[in-house]
Amino acid sequence: MRIDIISIFPYMFTSPLSYGLLKRARETGVVNISVHDLRGFTHDKHRTVDDYPFGGGPGMVMKPGPIFEATDALRRPESQVVLLSPQGRLFTQTVAQEMVSREHLIVLCGRYEGVDERVALQVADEELSIGDYVLSGGEVAALALMEAVVRLLPGALGSSLSLQEDSLSGAGWGGGGLLEYPQYTRPAEFRGLDVPGVLLSGDHAQVRRWRREQALERTYRRRPELLESAPLTPDDRQFLKKLEGAVTLPAREE
């Protein structure tokens, strides 16, 4: 996969791209990531990327010209242009999984009061939001999107098993998974807190069962709506039925 990011703050990416998964994935050729300074696509002395909003109002709006030029320069037939915006489709694990098959992503990071609407209309194939809150710019959102997508690319993680166990993916690649079971490492006793005995038992069948039940219970308590789309076995359903009798969930906000 190739990812081109367009931003007015390209140096915000230097450190995050130099550590951990993203660094390794770039070094091993799993992904090729380039960051482009939007000001490089301006033609005035001040390298202007923003202007006052038509109709008045606070703040500045990103001009369409530099963004159209930048994407024209980078676009290929297989490219998908993503505009990051709090108004976009919610970026979830399922969307990340969908994006794994893309060959080329061009990611546009907004700033100020946002981006001239003609970018959304003509340049972007899709607008994505990383959550229902407003950031000052798209850079942090671009990093979140890249981390989530790149770790799903073949060869990015040491073991593809960890992907299957992850929260929201555990039940398979179609999304709609459960939250992950609790994890423990050494020491077996820490400040009076013991690791659940079953994890020390060496009985793999018991461990599998315990983990599945923990994942079900966590999901039921924390994100019950996920259970509506998670693939469940008859044993899972029976376990959940028992829980329903034993656990009262807090009322959900609509």
Catalytic residue IDs:
86, 113, 151, 166
CB closer to ligand SAM out of 80 and 214? 80
Compute the least distance from the CB of residue 132 to ligand SAM, in Å: 7
Residue 100 is classified by DSSP as T
CB closer to ligand SAM out of 141 and 146? 141
Say whether 227 sits in a helix, a strand or coil.
helix
Buried b (16+ CB within 10 A) or exposed e, 167-183: bbbbbeeebbbbbbbee
Tokens 């367009």 correspond to 6
* The only residue of 53, 64, 65, 86 in contact with ligand SAM, by rule CB under 6 A: 86
Backbone angles phi, psi at 4, to 5 degrees: -110, 125
All residues at 6 or more sequence positions from 161 whose CB lies less than 8 Å from its CB, including other chains: none
- If binding is defined by CB under 6 A, does position 85 make contact with ligand SAM? yes
Tokens 């959304």 correspond to 120
Compute the least distance from the CB of residue 11 to ligand SAM, in Å: 17
Pure H helices in 35-187: 64-74, 93-99, 117-118, 139-150, 161-165
Compute the least distance from the CB of residue 211 to ligand SAM, in Å: 33
Pure H helices in 12-101: 20-27, 64-74, 93-99
# chain residues binding ligand SAM, by CB under 6 A: 20
Closest residue to ligand SAM in the complex (CB) = 110
Compute the least distance from the CB of residue 143 to ligand SAM, in Å: 11
Pick out residues in 93-152 that bind ligand SAM (CB under 6 A): 109-111, 113-115, 129-131, 133-138, 141
* Site residues (vs ligand SAM, CB under 6 A): 84-87, 109-111, 113-115, 129-131, 133-138, 141
